[in-house]
Amino acid sequence: MTARPLDVLVAGRVPYRAALEWQRSLAQERLDGRRNDLLLLLEHDPVVTLGRTAASAHLLRSDGIDVVEVERGGDVTYHGPGQLVGYPILDLTAYRQDLHWYLRSLEEALIDALARLGIPAAREAGRTGVWTGGRKIASIGVHVKRWVTWHGFALNVTTDLTAFDRIVPCGISGVVMTSVTREGGRGTGEESVWNRTIDAVIAGFERAFEVSAHRVEPAPLPA
């Protein structure tokens, strides 16, 4: 059986609002049948995003950075430099029309990726995301329209973890955030860890979703 194709767009640093419109545009192309499934990988300038269930009390301060309300599930989160953000745009009718399965599969892809970096990671009962040693290393929040997904995950790689002091991450009081570098992920130097993490995440997606990934050149951002 031939694995489903997965296009991977590695886009570098893209401002959050521009990336939001970009993924909405890509999702519409997937809905229209004009694209394969794809995984958009990038990082953002500092931004706080508020999901559909975000509580205002969980934004402690913004420090002047952008705050954006979005359609994804979940509470409040932070994105910034050194954090690998992934937006899978998948048509779940070709997999399973089951959001619980999809969330657990995203977690599995990231757990697999972290294992490749030498970091033992796991789920935590009753909570969405990925954890290591009781510390949260990846957050997940998704949106689905007619079974096509967008939004996705944020994996801390070389992130300045003090940036999370602005918020109650994902609305979980007392949570300790961590990163690939904090946990001693394999690699020598920031760039090496970053590139190894991208490769590991792509491999994790191939295994968790039973797809065949190949990198393609990013399309221009919508005007």
Q: What does the pLDDT average to over 32-49? A: 96
What's this model's pTM, rounded to 2 decimal places? 0.94
Give residue for tokens 């952008």.
66
Are β-strands 47-50 and 66-69 bridged in parallel, bridged antiparallel, or unpaired?
parallel
Average pLDDT score over residue span 189-208 = 91
Confidence check: pLDDT of 223 > 70: no
C-alpha–C-alpha distance, residues 40 and 23, integer Å: 8
pLDDT recorded at residue 220 = 61
Residue-wise pLDDT tens digits, 200-212: 999 999 999 999 9
**Topology of the domain covering 4-215:** BirA Bifunctional Protein; domain 2 (3.30.930)
Catalytic, out of 38, 117, 170, 177 = 170
Q: Which two tokens stand for residue 135?
A: 């510390």
Structure confidence by residue, pLDDT tens digits, 92-102: 999 999 999 99
> Is there a catalytic annotation at residue 24?
no
What digits encode the pLDDT tens for the residues 120-166? Answer: 999 999 899 999 999 999 999 999 999 999 999 999 999 999 999 99
